Amino acid sequence: MTFHDIWTSQRLEELCRDLGIESAKALGLLQAGGYLRGSLPGLVHGSPEIFLRRWAGFPENQRQIEILSGVLEYEPDLELTKYLCIHNTIDIFCWLLKFRYATGPEMKKKQYTLPRLVLALLNQAKYKPSRLKRLAGDSPNLQRFTEYLQRGWYDELWRTIPRHGIDLYKVTSAEQELPGNFSSAWNVAQTYYGIYNYVTALVFTNCPDLDTVRHQNSTKHFSNTLFKKFSGVLIKYPFNIRNPLTASMDELRGGHRQEWQYQYARSSRWSLSSPYDMETMFVELLGDDETLLHLMYKFRVWANYTGINSTLALDSPTYQIYLYKNLTAVVCFYALFSEVMAISLLGEDEFLSLYSRFLEATVGKNQAFRANHLYLPHCIRLRAYQLSGLISSLPSAFKVFSPDDPFDFCVGSGVQQATPGSRKPIK
């Protein structure tokens, strides 16, 4: 059946009546989404009708559906709409993270790995404990700070599947089969609680006491009071993006990457969008007065309470693996921000002692973790701290684990920083 057979004026009017959309509005949506090019559809699989049904069926997600129309068209299952809106927003965020900190050669070869990105951010941030100490308030509550830091370590550890979240680009055949006990819904929840605990730890660097029984007290305090204070000094791009922006995107980013003018600075899923375009998309997808932290909270609520039908429909291992990889990166960097503050406030010796006790009590007693400890985000960060000069040694618990090193941390590879300057045309 041809496009003209389906999309006669009568058919469009019937569909609009069925969905409660005005014909002019429907045509405008289809045109803006690229579904109508001249007299032919811009995409395939009968996508104009699927797009309109998706847009009409999820009123609270309509703007996201409009922005993501080209990507959502490849997944016709309407039940997955809410999930896909969040999945793709997080995916755009993680591509911004990769494009910001990967070197030019790494972009060309699509070598986006967690160890390299962690070390690149540290090398560019040049964190100074003496400066970070000044971010703390007059009466920081270090007891509660360390309590929530360790909670974050615990939640991050138990949502981790060793070896699955290191390469942030490729999906290997070994990863096509997730562990039999893997649950997307619970992994989302564990990821969120890891982030929540790391953020709450940061709150207690500036707050001697806060009622955390009410779950959102600490995250609201962080967003309303501390987000702007920490942005740029501790919290780095793209984690310092919010809608509306607290500064210009150039300032938040720290300048321009000359690599962004080339076609290799594109993702396979967002091939028509430059990183600058993706920044704009991400801010709009966040919604009003929101950050990535707000989005992760909504994702946790969806996963725990409202998204059971979508969870049951989410049977694609590729979707689940890429979601897992992206969430691994997100929680890893929130942990980094809290740990850098811990090194600054507690001192290296106390920080390493605290971490060593944690590793001995968890990794040291779990055969799967112990055998693959270098793949754990915690251990990746610790080694990156040492390589960047933030700490001088590793926790004593490392001595009981295998010293084999599976990673190239890209030491001495000339990690490239963003530089001030005007944006150049795309080549």
Which residue from 156, 138, 66, 69 is spatially nearest to 338, judged by alpha carbons? 156
Residue with the larger pLDDT of the pair 375 and 341 = 341
Mean pLDDT is highest, among 112-116, 267-271, 306-310, for 112-116
User: Higher model confidence: residue 212 or residue 128?
Assistant: 128
- Average pLDDT of the segment spanning 387-394: 93
Residues of the chain with pLDDT > 70, as a percent, come to: 84
- Per residue in 42-63, pLDDT tens? 333 447 788 888 999 999 899 9
Is residue 123 assigned to a domain?
yes
Indicate the range of 39-53, 112-126, 177-191, 311-325 predicted with least confidence: 39-53
pLDDT averaged over the chain? 84
Specify if 333 maps to a domain.
yes
Kindly state whether residues 15 and 111 are assigned to the same domain: no
121 and 2 share one domain:
no
Res. 10: pLDDT tops 80: no
On whether residue 73 sits in a domain, the answer given is no
Same domain, 251 and 300: yes
185-189, 267-271, 372-376, 411-415: range with lowest mean pLDDT: 411-415
Domain identity same for 222 and 368: yes
pLDDT at 4: 47
Identify whether residues 151 and 5 lie together within a single domain: no
Is the same domain home to 44 and 94? no
pLDDT of residue 382: 94
Q: What is the pLDDT of residues 321-355, one digit of tens each?
A: 888 999 999 999 999 999 999 999 999 999 999 99
* 2 and 125 share one domain: no
| pTM metric for this prediction | 0.89
Decide if 75 is inside a domain: no
Q: Are residues 387 and 291 in the same domain?
A: yes
Regarding whether 224 and 113 lie in a shared domain, the answer is yes
- The answer to whether position 380 is within a domain reads yes
The predicted-structure confidence for 87-107, as pLDDT tens digits, reads as follows: 999 999 999 999 999 999 999
Same domain, yes or no: 43 and 155: no
Q: Domain of residue 257: give its range.
A: 88-400
In a domain, 126, yes or no: yes
Percentage with pLDDT > 90 across the chain: 51
**Does 2 share its domain with 139?**
no
Residue 99 lies in a domain: yes
In total, how many domains does the chain have? 2
Residues 176 and 297 in one domain: yes
Give the residue with greater pLDDT, 176 vs 56. Answer: 56
**At residue 419, does pLDDT exceed 50?**
no
